[in-house]
Structures are given as structure tokens and as C-alpha cells.
Amino acid sequence: MKNLFVNPGFLVNYLKPLSSWFGAIAVALVGIGLWFSFYNSPIDYQQGNAVRIMYIHVPSAWMGMGIYAFIALSSFFGLVYGHVVAFSLAKAAAPIGATFTAICLVSGSAWGKPMWGTWWVWDARLTSVLILFFFYISYIIFSKSFSDFSKGEKFSSFLSIIGLINLPIIKFSVDYWNTLHQPASISKIGSPSIHVDMLIPLVIMFFSFIFIFLHLLVVRLQLELNNRRLNLKNMKSYEES
């Protein structure tokens, strides 16, 4: 098991056969989730059909936060143990997480327009998610901004760990600040207040997003490891010249 985290080639060979399975499961779950979302879920008595945006917005928000936590954790292991795979996993996940966060922001604006009468408000939840997106972009930029890529990895890793402070702010912003965003209806300590007919497609779409992430992560991990080998080769050639 240790080889999975120390030997990049071993990890890629281990995960590569799973990538197609992740992709196939993602496609199947997206199809099922969209069918439930558009054809087998009720219309909300207040929001009407606009409530269906929830099935994209909420899972993408969960993914944006979860992937960022994954990046920060991988970065921590990379800094502490110097694992190549840990740094590469973080760098591979960053554009995927940024994309999910962007989907969350866009879908939230589309949902907010009919509900609030405006595309955007400087609401505590919306603003903190926007800050999360900026942390993603900053991580990606700084990881590629140094001629010595190892310095870029370390600098961006520190940045990702600092950004963890924003995750509880996103989570609890609707509880501790006056906000237009509705409070939590699913991840409450008690039972969810969302109807089961809406909860089912929401959960299916969330799992479909997870498998999309896993499929893309494996593909991008191979690219990151190949880029790392190329950078090391170029640096070695430069030192020898």
C-alpha cells in the first residue's frame, strides 16, 4: 500500500484501469439524475420549476468545498513528507474544483434571479464562495508561476492550507450572518427538511459529480506526473549545459 503514495508509476498503473469505470458510472448516474431532476421530482410551491437548478447548484457547491479540502490535505502531506504524488494530486484536482465552484456560482446566480430579483448580492454565503473560487485560481497561478516548479508547489500548498479557514465560513455563513441565502436543509443535525422526492435526485447528482471528479482526477494526475518528469528533465539538461 505504501507504494501507492511513494511510487507515481505504481499509482498510475493502479488507477488507470479504474478511470474508464469511473467515467462510465458518472455518465450513467448523470443520466439517471437528470431524469429524476426534470421528470420525476416535484415543483416547489414557492419557487416553481426554478427549484430544479438546485440539482446542479447544491452538488457543485459540495464538490467545490470537498475538492478544496482534498487539495489542502494533499498539500499538507506533500509539505510534511515530500511526496511527489501528494503534490501532483493537489495540482491535478485544482482545475476540477475551480470548475465545480464556477458552476456553483453561475447556477446560484441563475437561481437567485427569479428568487431575489437580481443575479448577485454581496451576501455572506455568495461572497465566501466567490473567495473560494479566488483561492482556487490563486493556487493554480502560483503553482505555475515559478521557474523552479518545486517552489511553486510549496508556495501554492501553503496558500491552499491557509484557504481552509474559508470552508467553515461558507458552511456557517447562513447561520451566523443576515443572509438572503436559505439555511441548511440537508446537512442539519436533525433529519433533513427537504422532501425525499427532491432528496433522491440531489443525492444521485452528487454521486455523479463525485465519479466525474474521480475520472478527471486520474486523467489529470497522469498529465501532472508527465509534466513533472519533463520539468525535471529540462532542469537537469539546463544544469549540465
**Count of CB atoms situated within 10 Å of the CB of 157:** 25
- Domain for residue 157, yes or no? yes
- Domain for residue 11, yes or no? no
173 and 122 in contact (C-beta within 8 Å)? no
Res 168 pLDDT > 80: yes
* Residue 234's pLDDT band (cuts 50, 70, 90): low
- Domain for residue 14, yes or no? no
Max alpha carbon distance in the chain (Å)? 71
- Domain for residue 46, yes or no? no
What domain count does the chain have? Answer: 1
* pLDDT score of 136: 97
**For residues 58-82, average pLDDT:** 95
Q: Grid coordinates in use for 221?
A: 494526475
Torsion angles phi and psi, residue 152, rounded to 5: -60, -40
Range of lowest pLDDT (153-157, 208-212, 234-238): 234-238
- Domain for residue 95, yes or no? yes
**N residues, the chain:** 241
* N- to C-terminal Cα separation, the chain: 39
- Domain for residue 12, yes or no? no
* pLDDT score of 238: 47
Res 237 pLDDT > 70: no
Can you give the residue range of the structural domain that contains 91?
Answer: 20-40+53-240
205 and 37 in contact (C-beta within 8 Å)? yes
- Domain for residue 13, yes or no? no
* pLDDT score of 235: 57
**For residues 206-211, average pLDDT:** 97
Q: What is the pTM of this model?
A: 0.85
**Count of CB atoms situated within 10 Å of the CB of 176:** 9
Q: Which of 4, 160, 173 is nearest to 69 (CA)?
A: 160
- Domain for residue 173, yes or no? yes
Q: Is the dihedral of CA 15, 20, 21, 24 positive or negative?
A: positive
Q: Grid coordinates in use for 98?
A: 475551480
106 and 123 in contact (C-beta within 8 Å)? no
Res 106 pLDDT > 80: yes
